[in-house]
Amino acid sequence: MTALGVGFATGFSLILAIGAQNAFVLRQGLMRSHVFSLCLFCAVSDALLIAAGVAGFGAITTLWPGFPGIMALAGSGFLLVYGAMRFRAAWAGGDALTLQGRAPSLKVTIATAAAFTWLNPHVYLDTLGLIGAISTQFLGSERMAFGAGAVIASFVFFFSLGYGARWLAPMLRTDRAWRVLDAGIGVVMWGLAAKLIGGLLV
């Protein structure tokens, strides 16, 4: 497999797991709300982090040992709050109406995506750490190709998730379906928060 292919496979496998950011993109895609801007923001953010990792900044966790802990604390707090919001929405219901236009503004959407992206310590470990470490097995143009492959994977994934979500829209026309979705997202958020907090206590 070429360096580009290895980079694509590595990037795609790391981002494939359903996490807080992916769940948010999925929900916005279902609402068809600011999908392009959101997917572009997430993909570009990933690209910047991947470029930093490939460029050799994976040593940041070595130079600043407390960095992962700070990000984990901030990220877990945000996940707990957002998870609570989704549980509240599931309890209250009425989110089926978002398909007819009641949706967050672009500013709120991007701000939320920024929090999910930049307050997630796993993003730094995956991009600055793991992808940066794997890239060291390549030299020169091959290393750049590896990084390009990982960046392409992010763009393919986010835009596929955001725009592919609309195929699920017919199944989510009812209030009950949205309650189930919001409750499921809340469970994911709190589960991730618990994992981050657990890591801090080890």
**Residue 46 neighbours by CB distance under 10 Å:** 26
Closest CA to 150 of 52, 27, 24: 52
pLDDT of residue 62: 64
With 70 as the cut, is the pLDDT of residue 101 above it? no
Global pTM exceeds 0.85: no
Question: Which residues are within 8 A (CB) of 79 and not within 5 positions of it... i.e. 6 or more apart?
Answer: 20, 189, 190, 192, 193, 196
Write b or e for each residue in 166-186: b if 16 or more Cβ atoms lie within 10 A of its Cβ, otherwise e. eeeeeebeeeebbbebbeebb
DSSP state of 138: S
- What are the tokens at 45? 């953010």
Tens-place pLDDT, residues 140-177: 889 899 999 999 999 999 999 999 988 876 776 677 87
- Percent of the chain residues past pLDDT 90, beyond the cut: 24
User: Which residue range is the domain that position 29 belongs to?
Assistant: 3-201
**Could you give the dihedral angle defined by the CA atoms of residues 51, 52, 57 and 61, in that order, rounded to the nearest 10 degrees?**
-120
- What are the tokens at 185? 């997202």
DSSP state of 139: -
pLDDT interval class at 18 (50, 70, 90):
low
Residue 167 CA, chain-centre distance (Å), reads 20
Q: Give the integer Cα–Cα distance in Å for 179 and 186.
A: 10
- Ordered DSSP codes for 2-31: -HHHHHHHHHHHHH-S--HHHHHHHHHHHH
pLDDT interval class at 202 (50, 70, 90):
low
What does the mean pLDDT of the chain come to? 80
pLDDT of residue 110: 95
**Residue 129 neighbours by CB distance under 10 Å:** 20
For residue 161, give the 3-state DSSP assignment.
Answer: helix
Give how many domains the chain has, as a whole number: 1
With 50 as the cut, is the pLDDT of residue 97 above it? no
Tens-place pLDDT, residues 38-86: 999 999 999 999 998 888 655 565 677 776 677 667 767 877 887 888 8
- Percent of the chain residues past pLDDT 70, beyond the cut: 83
